[in-house]
Structures are given as C-alpha cells and as structure tokens.
C-alpha cells in the first residue's frame, strides 16, 4: 500500500490581514497567468472580504485553489453578528481553511474548545482544515518543542480522526515573520515525529500532509521542499511578494 504521505507538495500563501481590492485583483491575475502558480497544489488564503474576487477567477478556470484564514466555531448559520460560517466559505469556493494558527491562538485566545468546534464545522461542509501547530522560543529553549506540538495535536485528535484528509502545518512561533527559519535538521526531526504520530493515531486516514511554515522565502524554499518529510509549505510575508512567491511555486514543481 502506498504511503499516505506520498502525494505531491502543497504551497499555501497566507496573505494574513493585507491587501486591497486593487492589489488582490492584480495579484490574482499575475498568479493565474504564471504556469508554476496556476496549479491545483497552490492555495491562496485570502482575507475574507476578498474571497469573492478569487471565486470570480475560479469561475474562469483559475488553476490555483482558494483557502480562508478563519471560520466561525458556530456550525450553523444564525444570529452570530460578525461571524462567517463554514457553509459560506464553501459557497464562495473555498477548498481549505487555516485552523489554530499561532496568531489566532495568541491574539484571540483560541484553544482546544473553539478549535475543535471549527474542525467539526469544516468537516460538515467538506472543507479541508490546515491545522497549525508550533512551539514558542521559550518552549524550544526549555526542550519542550515536541511536547508542545504533540499536546496541540492531541487536543483535537478525536476531530482529526473523522477526516478523510489531514493537513498539519508545523509553524514554530519564533520563526513566523522573524526571518529566523528553523534549521533543516530541526524541520526534519519535528516532521518525522509528526508523521509517526499521525500514522499511529490516524491509521485509517487516506491522505496526510505535514507542511512547514515560518520565514519560508524564495531562497530557502527549495531546500525545505527537498526534505522528504516536508509535504509542502505555508508562506506568509514572502507570498505578498509575487516575485518571491513565483519562485517558491517553481521550487515545489521540481518535487
């Protein structure tokens, strides 16, 4: 039987809270015309107001896929002012949604309860969660990197067990937006542990991917994507620079 990890590598752009109608239109046009970016293994996680612009490109057969950066923990539509449901994200053509990003954990105090509800809501609408885990610098320094990541996974394991496809993004908090990328040896070690854990905990899952995120740039993407334990990358800052992002997409093509 083939390994659940053997599928091609994903590249996910996380634009975070950046952009304008004009910029997003221009960027989506560039990505759609670039042969390395206009591919189904490339996903763009846009700010919610711009998802519909991406959907318009999808109607014109853009090759890349749409992702959202967040979803409501309320599974059903209703009187929840300001919230955006999983159903709405699916309705505007989203294929995947980031869950548990360290910025959501840090600034919005998202923990086990709310993250579990989000995973459940996504599963109901057949959206693929990109579940993010990662340790702080202090936790790494204290030798608690794996323990931290394992606990974040264990907290939602019952929900992951329900999914036909699981994508986990390892994003060490200290590497996000800092220019400090984890060493290849550290990435290799953490991903090996994550793969082992997922295989053990989710024996029935058909497709699994472990992505790396944290200061992925044009000049380090190739080496990171070359690691057999890395099934893709989640890119923040460098995805806003289309020249860099194209190079990262090109690096994923070689794999």
Q: Where in the sequence numbering do the catalytic residues fall?
A: 101, 171
CB of 14 vs ligand 13P, minimal distance in Å: 4
SS3 234: strand
Q: Which is nearer to ligand 13P, 74 or 137 (CB)?
A: 137
Closest distance between ligand 13P and the C-beta of residue 73, in Å?
20
Between the alpha carbon of residue 181 and those of residues 16, 32, 66, 187, 247, the distances in Å are: 19, 29, 26, 9, 17
Helices 51-59 and 21-33, packing angle to 10 deg: 30
CA distance 176 to 151: 20
**Shortest Å distance, C-beta 195 to ligand 13P:** 20
Q: List Cβ neighbours of 44 (8 Å cut-off, separation of 6 or more).
A: 12, 13, 15, 28, 31, 54, 64, 65, 66, 67, 239
**Which of 4, 172 has the CB closer to ligand 13P?**
172
Give the nearest residue (CB) to ligand 13P. 236
CB of 220 to ligand 13P, least distance (A): 10
Cβ atoms of 131 and 100 closer than 8 Å: yes
**Interface positions with ligand 13P (CB under 6 A):** 14, 101, 171, 176-177, 213-216, 234-238
Our CB check for ligand 13P shows the closer of 121 and 181 to be: 181
* 70 phi and psi angles, rounded to 5 deg: -165, 165
């Amino acid at each position: 039987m083939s390994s659940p990890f053997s599928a091609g590598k994903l590249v996910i752009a996380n634009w975070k809270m950046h952009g304008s109608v004009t910029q997003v239109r221009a960027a989506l046009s560039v990505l759609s015309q670039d042969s390395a970016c206009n591919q189904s293994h490339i996903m763009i996680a846009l700010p919610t107001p711009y998802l519909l612009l991406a959907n318009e490109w999808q109607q014109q057969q853009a090759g890349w896929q749409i992702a959202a950066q967040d979803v409501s923990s309320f599974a059903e539509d209703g009187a929840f002012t300001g919230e955006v449901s999983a159903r709405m994200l699916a309705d505007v053509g989203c294929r995947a949604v980031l869950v548990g990003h360290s910025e959501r954990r840090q600034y919005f105090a998202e923990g086990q309860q709310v993250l579990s509800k989000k995973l459940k809501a996504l599963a109901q609408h057949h959206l693929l969660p990109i579940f993010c885990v990662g340790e702080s610098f202090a936790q790494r320094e204290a030798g608690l990197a794996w323990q931290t990541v394992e606990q974040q996974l264990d907290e939602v394991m019952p929900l992951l067990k329900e999914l036909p496809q699981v994508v986990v993004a390892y994003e060490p908090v200290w590497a996000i937006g800092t220019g400090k990328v984890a060493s290849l040896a550290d990435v290799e070690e953490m991903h090996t542990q994550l793969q082992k854990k997922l295989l053990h905990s989710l024996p029935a899952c058909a497709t699994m991917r472990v992505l790396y995120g944290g200061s992925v740039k044009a000049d380090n993407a190739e080496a990171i994507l070359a690691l057999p334990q890395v099934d893709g990358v989640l890119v923040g800052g460098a995805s806003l620079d289309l020249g860099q992002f194209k190079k990262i997409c090109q690096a994923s093509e070689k794999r």
